[in-house]
Amino acid sequence: MTTLQQKNPAQARPPEPAVNGIPAKPRPSKMRRKEARFFWLFISPWIFGFVVFLLGPMLASVYLSFTDWDSFTDPTWVGFGNYVKLITEDTVFHKALWNTLYFAFFSVPLGMGIALWLAALLNKKMKARKIFRTLVYLPHLVPIVAVALIFQMILAPDAGPLNRILAVFGVDGPAWLFDSEWVKPAIILLSLWQAGGATVLLLAGMKGIPQEFYEAAEIDGASSLRQFWSITFPQLTPIIFFNLIMGIIGAFQVFAQVYILTQGGPDNASQMLVPLLFTEAFRNYHMGYASAISWLLFLMVMALTILAFSTSRKWVFYETEVKN
Amino acid sequence: MKLLETNVSRRNVLAGLGATTLGVITLTACGSSGSGTASAGGAKNFVMTVWGGDPDKAAYQTRLDLAKAKFPDYKITLQIIPNKDYAQKVQTMISGGTGPDIMQVAEDANAYSSKNQLLALDEYISSAKLDLKATFGAVAENWKYKDKTYAVPDRAGAMILYYNKGEFDKKGLAIPTGDWTWDDLLSTAKELTGDGVYGYGGTEWWPIWMSFAYQNGGKIIDPDSGRPTVDTPEVIEALQFCQDLIYKHKVVPSKVDYANMGAGVGGDAAFASGKVMMNSTGFWNIGSLAKQDKISWDVAQIWHGKEKAISAFGSGLAISRSSKNPADAFKIIEFMTSAEGQKPILDLGQDVPARQDLQNSPEFLKPSWLKADVNMEVFPESTPSIFKPPFIPEWNEMQKAITDATADFWLGKTDAAATAADLQKRLGSIVKTQA
């Protein structure tokens, strides 16, 4: 956004006359220079923070990922050894990778779908709408440790409310957290319970859609479903896109749910990449190995994000871009 | 859908946002950097790290105040760190060059000693003429790695058996003693089981099933070769007995049963609420059980198998490699582990002091903080039976391998022989670097 502001005054000025045949660099106006000084002044805390606390550690972890480092003694260079071991040998890493993909594949689309559905419902004119909105957003505010404890009770094999409800319908519910087949769906369930955060963004987006669109559609005789798909959904795509990107990143970074609820068990059936990374770094003292995991994770999330961005021009609609 | 076909350009804002958030991932690998406390100050400044909560803080601070009175020119700073963050915090402190001078160590002590982060104390110990074996008993062996001593025992309480005295009296059962065999445990547990109540709390926790294994003549890691030995008949038989208590004799709640009792309920909570009649754990439940009057209870020694073998919970005090003044740091440790220095542990009811003389002192056996009549003699009586657990440098990895390999076993899905074979294989890949 800053670049746009910087460009405009420069373009408005006529080019400076050439001296000795060399085109002189246009000298910025006093106002412009002052603005630039303030720009650097205000951006400097962020740049400082980025370089010292983010870029520095990131570069260090690139180096460390090529070493065997216990975090106490000097690191020893192992080249691609950590990466080779991760990709070819480490069955726990493979399991964690699969689990994370599984979790992301289900939790992100389901979460987005539920958020959209809730937002559409909450956008309707009805009684006690504000109370419902609060209720939908509330789970998002509960600390994850508390959520995990609540779910330990909800998912209890026989005494838990979920399996009791299932029993009413004659379904013999699984042992959830103790069943390697059901522990991942249980964690997905927990993440869906918190879908309310995305709902709020979508709801705000819905409020921003001009009423004329709907009026015009009504005159043309469009049903409410048709209105949703032809007006609401396209107008919301930037927010849906934002939710998608944040959802992918969040899903790959899933940590607390696993760490508190299952510790990755039973037998790594719910182990995910970030808890595994944490275990390797701070329990097993394999800091170099953990750094390699974090960079593989980074590359994967980066690749998926790029993929999402490259497809976005096909389905994400920006009003400002139409005006250009 | 016509609107979507328009020419779309860049999405700067979102792209920027996405990239920034991505960057955060790699930060996870770096963790929180240790806030450096002044260990670098002068040679008379010392930092001591311990773990625990408020009762621990009170006990350690009282002891340090005594040390300060004895050594007025030392400045000793106590850093108390919550249990679960301790290892990570000390790790970051050491990596950041601000390691403590004196640190409390426990099961994973050799993660540090094997990586050259602790000082071998043998010279200091011999010049101070300390006899660790005579003063502390068997637990002195716990803090040795490759024949060198890396810590002085500080706290050491044997695992004990809590039993519901009211229920034993009601059913006319003989109270537990150290003379019990496995069969006595099983038959009494059977008598106590019924009506949603279980005879015994469980064996899944490592100090319990390992006690069974050692009682049966088994070992987890062979101390001479450093190889894992969990697939031996002795260990397999012990594991099978532990599992049979749950699924064959049904005198112990399964994991599923515990989950049905409530979130986070285990043997300790179930015993306190009267759902489990016997439970084996450490000293720490005495204080909390003394405060309730729902059940009447007492403690006893753990049974024996072919041999006597009992787990213990404790910690030692070690000197970090980064200490500027290790000789004086040792003087502090020497005082802290003297009878005078360890006395606040029992006065405040924090734990069992490692010193044998204190364990046998009237102040420990009849504590002023404990109103109930509790058989505290079990601690000194159990001490000779404490076995040295496999405190290998890869302790945490070994624990994880055990949890992973036995997950299905404790759910009753696999038997001991198959589980032990699987665990043997997993441990082999962890400790192979050792030999």
Q: At A113, phi and psi to the nearest 5?
A: -60, -45
Position B249 confidence tier, pLDDT thresholds 50, 70, 90? very high
| Burial environment of residue B425 by CB neighbours within 10 A (0 to 12, 13 to 18, 19 or more) | middle
Position B5 confidence tier, pLDDT thresholds 50, 70, 90? very low
Question: Which of the residues in chain A have pLDDT under 70?
Answer: 1-25, 319-324
In this structure, the answer to whether residues A139 and A94 fall within a common structural domain is yes
Q: What is the pLDDT of residues A229-258, one digit of tens each?
A: 999 999 999 999 999 999 999 999 999 889
In this structure, the answer to whether residues A55 and A85 fall within a common structural domain is no
Contact B41, B71 (CB under 8 A): no
Instruction: Say how far apart CA B95 and CA B14 lie, in whole Å.
Output: 37
Task: Tell me the residue length of chain B.
Answer: 435
- What is the torsion angle, in degrees rounded to the nearest 10, for the CA atoms of residue B302, residue B306, residue B308 and residue B310? -60
Which pLDDT score is estimated for B1? 36
The answer to whether residue A214 neighbours chain B at the CB level (below 8 Å) is no
The answer to whether residue B110 neighbours chain A at the CB level (below 8 Å) is no
Position B41 confidence tier, pLDDT thresholds 50, 70, 90? very low
- Please give the residue range of the domain that contains residue A35: 2-64
The answer to whether residue A58 neighbours chain B at the CB level (below 8 Å) is yes
Contact B109, B391 (CB under 8 A): yes
In this structure, the answer to whether residues A198 and A148 fall within a common structural domain is yes
In this structure, the answer to whether residues A148 and A236 fall within a common structural domain is yes
Residue at A121 is within a domain? yes
Provide the number of structural domains found in chain A.
Answer: 2
Nearest CA distance, B277 vs chain A (angstrom): 22
In this structure, the answer to whether residues A96 and A235 fall within a common structural domain is yes
Among A29, A64, A99, the domain-final residue is: A64
For B260, the closest of A157, A255, A291 (CB atoms) is A157
Q: Which domains does chain B have, with CATH numbers?
A: 45-157+313-380 (3.40.190.10), 160-311+388-431 (3.40.190.10)
| Unique residue bearing structure tokens 């106490």 | A72
In this structure, the answer to whether residues A277 and A153 fall within a common structural domain is yes
CB pairs under 8 A between A and B: 162
Chain centroid, CA B115 distance in Å: 21
In this structure, the answer to whether residues A239 and A318 fall within a common structural domain is yes
Residue at A74 is within a domain? no
Q: At what angle do helices A233-252 and A287-315 cross, to 10 degrees?
A: 170
Residue at A58 is within a domain? yes
Q: What is the pLDDT of residues A39-52, one digit of tens each?
A: 999 999 999 999 98
Chain centroid, CA A191 distance in Å: 12
Nearest CA distance, B86 vs chain A (angstrom): 10
CATH number at residue A151: 1.10.3720.10
Decide if A156 and B27 are in contact by the 8 Å CB cutoff.
no
| Adjacent-strand bridge partners of B45 | B75
Position B32 confidence tier, pLDDT thresholds 50, 70, 90? very low
In this structure, the answer to whether residues A90 and A55 fall within a common structural domain is no
- Region B320-344: what's the mean pLDDT? 93
Residue at A72 is within a domain? no
**What residues of chain B lie within 8 A of the CB of A274, using their CB?**
25, 28
Contact B192, B199 (CB under 8 A): yes
Decide if B8 and A149 are in contact by the 8 Å CB cutoff.
no
* Closest to A156 (Cα-Cα) out of A141, A178, A135, A128: A178
In this structure, the answer to whether residues A51 and A117 fall within a common structural domain is no
Give, for B279, the enclosing helix (H) or strand (E). Answer: strand B278-281
Instruction: Say how far apart CA B116 and CA B101 lie, in whole Å.
Output: 14
Nearest CA distance, A203 vs chain B (angstrom): 19
The answer to whether residue A51 neighbours chain B at the CB level (below 8 Å) is no
Instruction: Say how far apart CA B271 and CA B266 lie, in whole Å.
Output: 9
Q: At what angle do helices A144-154 and A183-193 cross, to 10 degrees?
A: 130
The answer to whether residue B87 neighbours chain A at the CB level (below 8 Å) is yes
Nearest CA distance, A23 vs chain B (angstrom): 31
For B23, the closest of A54, A156, A265 (CB atoms) is A54
* Closest to B50 (Cα-Cα) out of B281, B351, B427: B351
Which pLDDT score is estimated for A23? 61
pLDDT of B413 > 90? The answer is yes
In this structure, the answer to whether residues A156 and A190 fall within a common structural domain is yes
In this structure, the answer to whether residues A86 and A145 fall within a common structural domain is yes
Instruction: Say how far apart CA B81 and CA B49 lie, in whole Å.
Output: 7
Nearest CA distance, B18 vs chain A (angstrom): 7
Residue at A69 is within a domain? no
In this structure, the answer to whether residues A144 and A208 fall within a common structural domain is yes
**What residues of chain A lie within 8 A of the CB of B402, using their CB?**
none
Residue at A221 is within a domain? yes
